[in-house]
Structure 1
């Protein structure tokens, strides 16, 4: 019986603390709204639901919260079906067969350099693409890139 009480305590009180400690990444729309009020450089994670490295990268960001305070951290599902207004232009989903495709905004942001996931896109204060990084970034690499992005401004 004590085990049940202990388990209940852990699930009801301690687990939510871990969830609250995780960094929430901004959506594209939230990013654009934030940029209107307080422009900052942006680290944008292009990801998919099926990408395990993308999930690891998102989880890691919760631990980097204090080190990434000088930039916005946003994410975008590269296979989203939603129409997105980005910098005054509407982008939509581009199907490639019955069950696959990519979002036109993801293609634009990735450019010609990368088509893999995760892909980091660095944006300046005007939301212009500065650089791309393909693949999983280690915490120190992510910190270094953020620092370089801020210094570039």
Structure 2
């Protein structure tokens, strides 16, 4: 009887472990094309990750975000956008049209990435935090470690508290 219970307990624990991996909080990015309409409904800071498909550090940063417990818990405080800096899509943001500008045969960047990056060389990943009025509050070229992400989330929390 006890041996049967231990098998059932082991099976139950395995099932719980399996479901807990599926039930982790997910941070789903907002499409840049929807930001303006979302901001009209409820203005919040906008946190943008400029990245590319080929950038390994960008993929590492995205994976880190998915595992960062505070990022998922505080995701309601801001709009999180992952923007492919090489997107060939035309983008309309705050009444401004941004298009893809080729820099070679199969390469180029979207004007929005350049506008968000500011002057200087584009680095990937690049973090940009915009306030409720689309003004740049923070820019960082490179990967943010978990502690830096936590500090950025606390800063966003403080921004929200100061504008209430």
Q: TM-score range by the shorter chain?
A: 0.7 to 0.9
Q: What does residue 85 of structure 2 align with?
A: 78
Q: What does residue 51 of structure 1 align with?
A: 55
Work out whether 1:17 is the aligned partner of 2:32: no
In structure 2, C-alpha distance between the alignment counterparts of 1:56 and 1:109, rounded to whole Å:
21
- What are the superposed Cα offsets for residues 87-124 of structure 1, whole Å, 9 maximum, x if unpaired? 10111000011011111010000001451100000100
Q: 1:144 to 1:32 in 2, by over 3 A?
A: same
In structure 2, C-alpha distance between the alignment counterparts of 1:123 and 1:88, rounded to whole Å:
16
Please report the RMSD computed on the Cα atoms of aligned residues, expressed in angstroms: 2.4
TM-superposed CA distance for 1:81, in Å, is 0.2
Q: What does residue 99 of structure 2 align with?
A: 92
Bigger Cα displacement from structure 2, 47-56 vs 105-114 = 105-114
Q: 1:33 to 1:60 in 2, by over 3 A?
A: farther
- What are the superposed Cα offsets for residues 11-42 of structure 1, whole Å, 9 maximum, x if unpaired? xx759826x74211111122222211111112
Q: What does residue 4 of structure 1 align with?
A: none
Q: What does residue 125 of structure 2 align with?
A: 118
* Secondary structure in 2 matching 1:151: helix
Work out whether 1:39 is the aligned partner of 2:43: yes
In structure 2, C-alpha distance between the alignment counterparts of 1:112 and 1:149, rounded to whole Å:
24
Asked if the contact 2:127/2:139 (under 8 Å) is kept, the reply is yes
- Structure 1 regions of 5+ residues with no counterpart? 1-9
Q: Write out the 4+ residue segments of structure 1 that deviate beyond 6 Å after TM superposition.
A: none
Q: What does residue 127 of structure 1 align with?
A: 134
TM-score with structure 1 setting the length: 0.82
- Structure 2 regions of 5+ residues with no counterpart? 1-14
Work out whether 1:30 is the aligned partner of 2:34: yes
